[in-house]
Amino acid sequence: MEADILDGKAIAATMKGEIVAEVAVFKEKFGWVPGIAVVQVGADPASSRYVKQIGKSFEEAGMTFRLETLDESTGQDEVVRLVQSLNADRAVNGIIVQMPLPKHISQDVIASTISPAKDVDGINPVNAGYLLAGAGSYFAPATPSGGMEILHRSGVEIAGKRAVIVGRSNIVGKPMACLLLHEHATVTICHSRTKDLAAVAREADILVAAIGKARMITADFIKPGAAVIDFGINVVDGKVVGDVDFEGAKGVAGAITPVPGGTGPMTNIVLMRNTLRAANEAAELK
Ligand code: NDP
């Protein structure tokens, strides 16, 4: 039997409808609308395309979008000053700084400059710390949060299940591990030094790929019936493919996210949801 397709595009469309309705209620209640600011240093074409998509999503949802572009040669202090001014700007509820930054700018310095209350992609160490502790009110990174939303909305059981995550980056693999752990999965994190990766992966009821290697996870890595979440975005012969060999995997998995149309469309939606939440929290403080 073929796997159920975990249709992130459809889930994102449903969530967008929910957000549009919530933004309308917010506007009615407070007389202003939530907004995000994106800081882009340099003009990387892939980054520019992504930023354009964020802008479109926010504007379609009735929220404001502000793009701050800085020249590639801009110094770190100037980027810090810009982020500080956005922290202080009451019209801005969410702040994203496009990564990677040019080499002369420290990602750590910029991440810790973003106010935790506006850090809608969860990169400030304060948010990362709360996520690790599973305590307090925090923003988790948008991409793994989107993966969790797919699992929730598709009825995939998490508590008590074995979850294996391939990839340990701070923006996808590690936060995904924390989110699954907080929902009582038994979690294993794998990486490039993991021995016999296929055998470890085959233990998973929930297998997560966050590697950046096209179609690396083949059918023999998958336990029959497992739910497979593929975060990979790789371009092969002009086509976007995941880290999972979708065609082979769908014959073994119980459920699987396609690429494109799986985890990808969820990231923007989570950014919108987080910005709306940040705006609600700011409005309550005013
Ligand atoms: P990173 O390059 O930061 O991390 C990749 C991870 O994969 C590392 O932990 C690395 O291990 C591990 N890895 C690499 N090769 C192997 C291997 N042969 N066997 C086992 N593990 C391996 O990537 P990101 O986490 O930033 O991104 C992962 C994927 O997700 C990419 O395809 C990226 O494009 C995509 N992505 C998708 C987003 C979305 O919106 N859906 C958003 C962000 C990213 P080690 O630590 O040992 O080097």
Q: Rounded to 10 degrees, what is the CA torsion of 192, 229, 141, 271?
A: 150
Sheet with strand 94-97: strands edge to edge? 64-70, 35-41, 94-97
Tell me what pLDDT residue 1 has: 82
Q: Which atom of ligand 1 is nearest to the CA of 212?
A: 32
Ligand 1 centroid to residue 7 C-alpha, Å: 22
Q: Could you tell which of 169, 195, 216, 259 is best to mutate to test the pocket of ligand 1, judged by most ligand atoms within 8 Å of the CB?
A: 169
Ligand 1 centroid to residue 169 C-alpha, Å: 6
Domains 34-115 and 142-264 share a fold: yes
pLDDT digits (tens, 9 = 90+) for 219-241: 999 999 999 999 999 999 999 99
Ligand 1 centroid to residue 212 C-alpha, Å: 4
CATH of domain 34-115: 3.40.50.10860
In order of 40, 129, 188, 215, 242, the CA distances from 4 in angstroms are: 38, 35, 24, 19, 17
| In the predicted structure, residue 286 carries a pLDDT above the cut 80 | no
Which residue's CA is the nearest one to ligand 1's atom 39? Answer: 264
pLDDT digits (tens, 9 = 90+) for 73-126: 999 999 999 999 999 999 999 999 999 999 999 999 999 999 999 999 999 999
Tell me what pLDDT residue 133 has: 97
Q: Give which of 144, 94, 132, 140 is closest to 115, Cα–Cα.
A: 94
Nearest-angstrom CA–CA distance, 113 and 209: 30
How confident is the prediction for the chain on average, in pLDDT?
Answer: 97
pLDDT digits (tens, 9 = 90+) for 270-283: 999 999 999 999 99
Tell me what pLDDT residue 60 has: 96
Which residue's CA is the nearest one to ligand 1's atom 42? Answer: 143
Which residue's CA is the nearest one to ligand 1's atom 16? Answer: 192
Give the model's confidence band at 285: pLDDT under 50 very low, under 70 low, under 90 confident, else very high. confident
The residue-averaged pLDDT of 159-184 equals 98
pLDDT digits (tens, 9 = 90+) for 14-62: 999 999 999 999 999 999 999 999 999 999 998 999 999 999 999 999 9
Tell me what pLDDT residue 160 has: 98
Neighbours of 201 (CB within 10 A): 25
Decide yes or no: CATH 3.40.50.720 for domain 142-264: yes
pLDDT digits (tens, 9 = 90+) for 124-158: 999 999 999 999 899 999 999 999 999 999 999 99
Which residue's CA is the nearest one to ligand 1's atom 22? Answer: 192
| In the predicted structure, residue 247 carries a pLDDT above the cut 90 | yes
Pull the structure tokens for residue 208.
Answer: 């997560």
Q: Give the binding-site residues of ligand 1, using a 6 Å CB cut-off.
A: 143, 166-169, 171-173, 190-194, 197, 210-213, 231-234, 243, 263-264, 267
- Sketch the domain layout of the chain as residue ranges: 34-115, 142-264
Pull the structure tokens for residue 165.
Answer: 């995550």
Q: Could you tell which of 172, 266, 270 is best to mutate to test the pocket of ligand 1, judged by most ligand atoms within 8 Å of the CB?
A: 172
Nearest-angstrom CA–CA distance, 69 and 122: 21
Q: Which atom of ligand 1 is nearest to the CA of 211?
A: 7
